[in-house]
Amino acid sequence: MISRSAVLVIAAGFLSAFWTGCAASPPAAAVLSQAVAPTESQHPDPNAPYVIPASPRPAPAPLATDAQAPLCSPDALKVQEIAGSMHGSYHSTKLGFRNQTGVACRLSGYPLVALLNGQGQSLGSIAVERTTEAAVRAELAEAAPQHGGAPPESAGSALAKVILMPKSVAAFRVVWSAGENCAQVTRLLITAPGTARSFSVAQPMRVCTGRIQVTPLGLDQGDD
């Protein structure tokens, strides 16, 4: 038979174990809160910026180089008058070969220029000499034209290649001294370097001193 004191001791131990277990266990609300607490991966910040992944850009097409661009064919070109200027009797007209195609091509050197009178006959009495763009600009800036001009370029001189992208223009100048009682020119026959086809351009002019001068081709930058 268990004594009363033994019963009290057992009951005290049981109550002590019960309260110890309750103290170690979290409250039900805390357990529920931990179970439903959202994480960043489940609910991202609605105010965070949305970043669209960058799509890869296509590589730019390679630019035409001297080696890649073929010689311009006459069918790809059109001759046009760009501008004219004068200083006293010294006259200059700026002409150009325009690339009418969608493919780049190249030109270099001096164009061939022939002079025609009103009857379509060649004026062989007028010499065609080579000069430089710098010499032409210098003469246009002088108070009085210097008819000596620049020395002709030698056949072995290296001339820059002009790469003509679609719709670009390779320009050159024709310069002369004008006067009332000088040879009458009606048209110019112009041939691109390295080609055989000539373009006829209406260009009325009076040529004195028995010569005209021509500059080499250069990419037209829109300046005169």
Which domains does the chain possess?
Answer: 74-219 (2.60.40)
Model confidence pLDDT, tens digit, residues 167-212? 999 999 999 999 988 999 999 999 999 999 999 999 999 999 999 9
Q: Per-residue pLDDT for 154 more than 60?
A: no
Structure tokens at 152: 């002709």
Q: What is the pLDDT of residue 158?
A: 63
Q: In this structure, are strands 90-99 and 77-87 parallel, antiparallel, or unpaired? A: antiparallel
* Separation CA 81–CA 93 (nearest Å): 8
The pLDDT-based confidence of 137 (bands split at 50, 70, 90) is: confident
Among 128, 147, 129, 130, which residue's Cα sits nearest to residue 138? 147
* Separation CA 25–CA 31 (nearest Å): 9
Model confidence pLDDT, tens digit, residues 30-76? 444 444 444 444 555 555 444 445 555 554 444 545 568 999 999 99
pTM for the whole thing?
0.65
The answer to whether 214 touches 131, Cβ cutoff 8 Å, is yes
Residue type, 74: P
Interval 13-26 mean pLDDT: 50
Residue type, 21: G
The answer to whether 136 touches 53, Cβ cutoff 8 Å, is no
* Separation CA 33–CA 54 (nearest Å): 40
Model confidence pLDDT, tens digit, residues 90-126? 999 999 999 999 999 999 999 999 999 999 999 989 9
